[in-house]
Amino acid sequence: MPEPSHPADAARIEAFVEHLRHERHSSEHTWRSYAADLRHLADHLAGPTSGTNCDAAALDMADLEDLRGWLAAMAASGLARGTLTRRLSAARGYFGWARRQGLREDDPSLRLSAPAPKPALPAVLQPGQMERLFQTARHRVEDTVDDPRQHALALRDAALFELLYATGIRVSEASGLDVDDLDAERRVVRVLGKGDRERTVPLGVPAAHALQAWLRLGRPVLARAHEGGAHTDGARGPTQAAMFLGARGGRMGVRQMRERVDRALAGLGDTSARGPHALRHTAATHLLDGGADLRSVQEVLGHSSLRTTQVYTHVSIDRLREGYRQAHPRA
């Protein structure tokens, strides 16, 4: 990288590099990288139209807002996280040194922090993969009709998968559901979410049918394994009220649900998506892909902030962009 546009900035950087080499005994790789990083900062601070008319170095006049603007611009450009972190270290090292040398009265980097990393985009299953997941669950139901206990477990898992995808509820919310939370006639389920906030979430016909089959044909079989039913697991009320039961008849816990979903998703063989949260991510993305507005999706998911829901718009846009790239002749 060429020298900064202002000679005073070049002199400051050269003096700092000498400090790194002879007093800090930094490696050549470190001091060369820091020098390049500080030249980048100086050019950013000087701006494209700045020349050498000003006597002061841009590094001498930088304040916290300037440094935050520099980091934000790099983050927006897609700079690698490691490079961004190194440049932040270079700036902190320089301004701390400049203050100790009396070149500055303050150190604007003391309150400087790196921009928060972009949240990882959630793994999302394609509609075809979801259909295969449900098809496999249905086949298991059909294949276990001669074994009442295994048939009950198959009905439960099929209902659980359908519910998680249809509603996008959290696995903890699914574990806490009671039988009375389902309104089969209206096809809605009452959910107690974070902060004890209650919401009503609609579900589709396949999910409603799967839940009714489980409650009518499967749940009584597992409930008999837990006669008396007064056990409380700390989630929501006694086991006798629980929507989903484990193999021994107690309320099905979060860990059990994760294991069942993990196994089913791994069985697809063509996705890295794992866990109930993948079904939540998928439900939200498919809702947006289908034209649902962001506020409605926020209500369904139980997000207190719309910003949390907006991550799914990024997923949908990425999917749209990929489809455009593959389909449009001039993409």
Indicate which residue of 132, 251, 260, 280 is catalytic.
280
- Write out the two tokens for 58: 């841009």
Question: Minimal CA–CA distance to 125: which of 261, 264, 259, 285?
Answer: 285
- Report pLDDT for 236: 45
- Report pLDDT for 121: 62
Indicate which residue of 68, 209, 277, 314 is catalytic.
277
Is position 165 annotated as part of the catalytic site? no
Percent helix, strand and coil across the chain, each to the nearest 5: 65, 5, 30
Which residues, given as ranges, of the chain have pLDDT below 70? 1-6, 47-56, 115-122, 226-239, 314-324, 326-331
Is position 194 annotated as part of the catalytic site? yes
- Report pLDDT for 1: 43
What domains lie within the chain, and their CATH numbers?
7-111 (1.10.150.130), 127-274 (1.10.443.10)
Is position 21 annotated as part of the catalytic site? no
Phi, psi of 288 (to 5 degrees): -70, -40
- Report pLDDT for 245: 95
Q: Give the Cα separation of 284 and 298 in Å (integer).
A: 9
- 138 exposed, middle or buried (CB, 10 Å; 0-12, 13-18, 19+)? middle
Q: pLDDT for 37-73, tens place per residue?
A: 999 999 988 765 444 444 567 898 899 999 998 988 8
Is position 118 annotated as part of the catalytic site? no
- Report pLDDT for 227: 62
Contacts of 289 (CB under 8 A, 6+ apart): 316, 319
Indicate which residue of 118, 194, 216, 224 is catalytic.
194
- Report pLDDT for 229: 46
- Report pLDDT for 70: 92
Is position 248 annotated as part of the catalytic site? no
Indicate which residue of 104, 170, 236, 281 is catalytic.
170
Q: Give the Cα separation of 169 and 60 in Å (integer).
A: 53
Is position 199 annotated as part of the catalytic site? no
